[in-house]
Structure 1
Amino acid sequence: MENVNGRSQTGKLAVVFGGTGFLGRRAVRHLRRHEFSVRVASRHPDRGRDLFGSDDSRIESIEVNIHNEPSIARAVAGAYGVVNAVSLYVERGRETFHSVHVEAAHHIAAQAQQAGVERLVHISGIGSDATSSSPYIRKRGEGESAVRAAFADATVVRPAVMFGPDDTFITTIITLLRRFPVYPMFGQGLTRLQPAYVEDVGEAIALILQGSETGTTFECGGPRVYSYKELVSALAREAGVKPVLLPVPFAAWHALSRMLAILPSPPITRHQVALMQVDNMRSSEMPGFEQLGISPRAVEDIIQTMLRGR
């Protein structure tokens, strides 16, 4: 596969569903740097206007209901490219993994196809598997199939677990490391992770929309693979703390997540526990950052910036 080149996209419109989220807002900014006009489609357009301001006339924030096809159709009208960066980590009422990651993803792809959109980028995740026993992982896998059924040339981007300022991954670990002398680990801390910097994933999305290749699946992992224990230890060193790392069996985590499920915003869910039982690394057989001409940044390259922001 050839590297994606740097063609100008001045005047072309990209629509980003979930454009105010952790990854979505980075995708918006990288698309603008590549001279796309951007329509930010989200439930809360005021949040988009707060994030991106009113100085840039090429960023438009609109309200969209991803469960309503006419609403999606209005959002994608006139677009060259569409990015679906909508994600859900905790099910609430009608907002389920199936309704968001499968049904809504299919609606977005179908409406993009009907509108004559040339490029569709669907954000999934490394490890997505339609045969998994985990509802979250399974629906991610089913969502990829649903998107491709509606838009055959869709490009799927599977990031590894992402990190960056205001994330819910490394920021949470650092908070716990600083607050408590003992840090409870998932199992023995042996699960392998390949964290990806969110800005690198945002740039990957922009380059994919800019390029000519379609129908590919990219797996985007950072430059280093850690065991969970190695990652926590590295973060502790960077933060200047020396906690005791306490192995906690996964059975105990599952029991805790069931008890916490009664809370409106549980600090940990059974789906997150299930994810931590599975290695989160890109396959060497899949294209990734390198094929896009991106040199991904490691946790150690960014962590001090994150620490200074806390």
Structure 2
Amino acid sequence: MSAASGKMVTVFGGSGFVGRHVVRALARRGWRIRVAVRRPDKALFLQPLGTVGQIMPVQANLRYRWSIERALEGADAAVNLVGILHESGRQTFAATQAFGARAVAEAVRDAGIARFVQISAIGARPDSPSLYGRTKAEGEQAALAAVPSAIVMRPSVVFGPEDSFFNRFAGIAGLSPFLPLFGGGRNRMQPVFVGDVAEAIARALDDRATPGTIYELGGPEVKTFRELMALTLETIGRERLLLPLPFAAGRLAASVLGLLPKPLVTADQLKLLAEDNVVSAEAIAEGRTLEGLGIQPTAMEAVLASYLVRYRVRGQFAGHQSGL
């Protein structure tokens, strides 16, 4: 029987892209899981991932400390996955990734919970040119200040069936004759599989990670943005022009596209694209990586085709001829 069997973990933001995979990984280990989200009715799809009564969505809003405290009652561990890729209305970087992270961390501390994982991102630092990166760094600092035993996970670009990276550009390729390469597409990335990120978080709660440590999670390959766009096109079987765009042109486009409900790119994201997004040499040397946690990173080629198939001209039937 798992050491986690019967123990309770509260997962804030558990219904999101990374969250659903974290919930699955924890359920397999025998955790009882309280999924803390703003709309519990939209998290009911998680319940079949566990046994009857094992996964329970509850209401929590990071703006209200009492709702966080209620979600943590009786918990043995906590995970904070709440974050956004772009701002919209009251959902700002400061509110979710800085203030919200601090509220969760302080409530975790006051509840006497030592096992706590805070998700962040590679590139998080106080002097980041991006507000996203700066608020992620604030969230890290708040977590470690309130709970010194906290473990911070910094993934690179996360890929998987519900991702907003490969799905987004594959979708654009189905409509546009070109894919934009902001800044020439020279920045490097190290995409990491969502299942590996979830496993890293689960192992942290298994006490297989070093308390008070920041881990950097990347996949087995480092590729430029241009190479990732070429891989996307190859996977979906489409030929499109890879069009280099100076950042100045990107900022102009972002001023318009940023007004959409789900913008292709925002001015803040362009600042992130101006930098590399890879695991640091220091993290590798110190074992603060997936490999350091005993996880062999999953290659993109092993996963991408399984969910990008719908963007092929004939979908899953591309490359097949009818026998009729």
1:302/1:179 CA distance change after superposition, 3 Å: same
CA distance in 1, matches of 2:232, 2:256: 29
**Aligned counterpart, 1:305:** 306
12-21 or 84-93, larger mean C-alpha shift: 84-93
Q: Matches of residues 20-99 of structure 1 in structure 2 within 5 Å?
A: 20-53=15-48, 56-99=52-95
SS of residue in 2 equivalent to 1:95: coil
Structure 1 Cα separation of the partners of residues 170 and 256 of structure 2 = 24
Shift in CA distance, 222/214, structure 1 to aligned 2, threshold 3 Å: same
Contact preservation (8 Å) 2:129, 2:272: no
1:60-81 deviation digits (Å, cap 9, x = unpaired): 1101011111110011111111
Task: Tell whether the 8 Å contact from 1:19 to 1:41 is kept in structure 2 after alignment.
Answer: yes
- 1:262 counterpart = 2:259: yes
Q: How does 1:278-289 map to 2 (within 5 A)?
A: 278-286=275-283, 287-289=288-290
Aligned equivalents of 1:153, 1:282: Cα separation in 2:
22
Closer, same or farther: CA 36–309 of 1 in aligned 2, 3 Å? farther
> Who is 1:137 aligned against?
133
Partner of 1:125, secondary structure, is coil
Superposed displacement of residue 306, structure 1: 1.1
SS at match of 1:35: coil
Structure 2 unaligned spans of 5+: 312-324
The one-character-per-residue Cα deviations of 1:185-206 (angstroms, maximum 9, x if unpaired) are: 1121111010001111011111
Question: How does the TM-score come out when normalised to structure 1?
Answer: 0.94
Maintained 8 Å contact 2:182/2:273: yes
SS of alignment partner, residue 174 of structure 2? helix
Aligned mates of 1:205, 1:297 — CA distance in 2: 16
Deviation for aligned residue 1:30 = 0.4
Which structure is higher in RCO with an 8 Å CA cutoff and minimum separation 6? 1
Q: CA deviation at 1:55?
A: 5.1
Q: Does the residue aligned with 1:23 lie in a helix, a strand or coil?
A: helix
The answer on 1:113 being equivalent to 2:109 is yes
Unaligned runs of at least 5 residues, structure 1: 1-5
Q: Does 1:227 align with 2:224?
A: yes
Contact 2:130–2:269, Cα closer than 8 Å, also in 1: no
Secondary structure at 2:108 match in 1: helix
Once residues 73 and 36 of structure 1 are traced to their aligned partners in structure 2, the CA distance between those partners, rounded to angstroms, is 20
Question: How far apart, CA to CA, are the structure 1 residues paired with 2:55 and 2:171?
Answer: 34
**Percent of matched pairs sharing the same residue:** 39
Look up the match of 1:277.
274
CA distance in 1, matches of 2:273, 2:116: 29
For 2:42 and 2:18, the matched residues in 1 are separated by: 15
The RMSD of aligned alpha carbons is 1.7
Q: Deviation at 1:309?
A: 5.0
Question: What is the deviation of 1:52?
Answer: 2.4
Q: Is the 8 A contact 1:7 1:210 kept in 2?
A: no
Q: Provide the residue aligned with 1:156 in structure 2.
A: 152
Residue identity in the other structure for 1:158: R
Contact in 1 for aligned 2:72/2:108 (Cα 8 Å): yes
